[in-house]
């Protein structure tokens, strides 16, 4: 297993504590940890846009490591909150790539994913970063790599691609396009295409979610928080920088007001899910959709989800 982070000099400075937590977690679990700059692979200089260049770097990194090796690709604003959790719990279903849904809407998260080094996953990453705005293609470019991911998933999973979704992908209404993707995926019965290659975790069951949705609280069930920003997301969201800690197995975050019981966390997540429901529905949320095809081994990170 490798933990992969892509960061320019500003991000390395702003998110130093986050990156330290990921590096430490890798050390404690005998994983590899790699930190790439935007120019680490010169082959990626033609990729227009920071996050497309990130995908390009993942592709070229996979070319240089053993087959079937797992790589957890993480945004620099992602931090390990609880060293006790094991990322292997999300390696379920014998997939080539695993995604999760963002908690507050119905997007498939583009910044954090786990990929197994296979010919299929390398081709997927290549096709993804080639959707950058410097290339000519059908997709309009809405929401950068996030939108491009949904366009690629649509074409890999749904055959034939509904003309309505193709039109939405050429347009400018991003929520309508994401909603069309989800409707088309569910209407396919989640069969055919490349469904056996891709795993999707439901909202809140991924290895991370945006910490602001629960005011950055954590419990023994929490693993990672995304959106650990610097400057922090303050105000009602009560954001903070990750507290410093030593790199030891016994290292814990301080038992301050941010630490809550598992019962309190369950209540917070239940409330946050209700608050998020309009945003999810605006992006085509269907609680009975077949797109959620994997669950983490053992107890899920957030119950209920």
Token pair, residue 258, equals 């941010």
Q: In this predicted model, what pLDDT tens digit does every residue of 71-123 receive, in sequence order?
A: 999 999 999 999 999 999 999 999 999 999 999 999 999 999 999 999 999 99
Determine, yes or no, domain membership for 193.
Answer: no
φ/ψ (deg, to 5) at 204: 90, -10
Q: In this predicted model, what pLDDT tens digit does every residue of 232-266 receive, in sequence order?
A: 999 999 999 999 999 988 888 888 999 999 999 99
CATH code, 107:
3.90.550.10
pLDDT at 204: 95
pLDDT at 108: 99
Determine, yes or no, domain membership for 277.
Answer: no
Number of domains the chain contains: 1
Determine, yes or no, domain membership for 101.
Answer: yes
Determine, yes or no, domain membership for 95.
Answer: yes
Buried b (16+ CB within 10 A) or exposed e, 35-58: bbebeebeebeebebebbbbbbbb
Determine, yes or no, domain membership for 289.
Answer: no
To which H or E segment does residue 73 belong? Answer: strand 70-74
pLDDT band for position 289 (cuts 50, 70, 90): very high
Domain containing residue 15 = 2-138+198-270
pLDDT of 229 higher than 60: yes
Determine, yes or no, domain membership for 281.
Answer: no
Interval 211-228 mean pLDDT: 97
pLDDT of 180 higher than 50: yes
pLDDT at 254: 86
Determine, yes or no, domain membership for 167.
Answer: no
* Percent above pLDDT 70 for the chain: 98
pLDDT band for position 299 (cuts 50, 70, 90): very low
pLDDT at 252: 82
Interval 148-169 mean pLDDT: 98
What is the reported pTM?
0.96
Determine, yes or no, domain membership for 288.
Answer: no
């Amino acid at each position: 297993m490798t933990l992969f982070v892509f960061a320019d000099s500003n991000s390395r400075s702003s998110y130093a504590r986050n990156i330290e937590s990921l590096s430490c977690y890798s050390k404690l679990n005998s994983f590899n940890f790699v930190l790439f700059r935007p120019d680490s692979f010169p082959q990626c200089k033609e990729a227009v846009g920071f996050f497309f260049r990130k995908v390009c770097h993942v592709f070229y990194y996979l070319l240089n490591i053993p087959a079937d090796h797992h790589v957890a690709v993480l945004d620099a604003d992602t931090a390990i909150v609880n060293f006790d959790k094991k990322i292997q719990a999300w390696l379920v279903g014998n997939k080539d790539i695993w995604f999760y849904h963002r908690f507050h809407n119905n997007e498939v998260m583009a910044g954090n994913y786990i990929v197994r080094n296979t010919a299929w996953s390398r081709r997927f990453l290549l096709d993804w970063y080639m959707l950058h705005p410097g290339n000519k293609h059908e997709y309009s470019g809405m929401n950068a790599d996030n939108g491009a991911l949904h366009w690629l998933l649509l074409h890999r999973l749904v055959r034939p691609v509904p003309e309505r979704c193709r039109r939405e992908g050429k347009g400018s209404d991003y929520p309508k396009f994401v909603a069309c993707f989800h409707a088309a995926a569910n209407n396919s019965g989640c069969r055919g295409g490349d469904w056996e290659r891709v795993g999707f975790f439901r909202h809140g069951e991924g290895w991370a979610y945006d910490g602001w949705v629960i005011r950055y609280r954590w419990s023994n069930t929490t693993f990672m928080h995304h959106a650990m920003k610097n400057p922090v997301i303050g105000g009602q969201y009560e954001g903070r920088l990750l507290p410093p800690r030593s790199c030891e197995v016994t290292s814990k975050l301080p038992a301050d007001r941010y630490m809550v019981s598992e019962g309190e966390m369950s209540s917070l997540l239940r409330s946050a899910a209700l608050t998020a429901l309009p945003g999810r529905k605006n992006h085509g949320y269907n609680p009975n959709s077949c797109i959620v095809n994997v669950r983490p081994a053992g107890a899920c990170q957030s119950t209920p989800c």
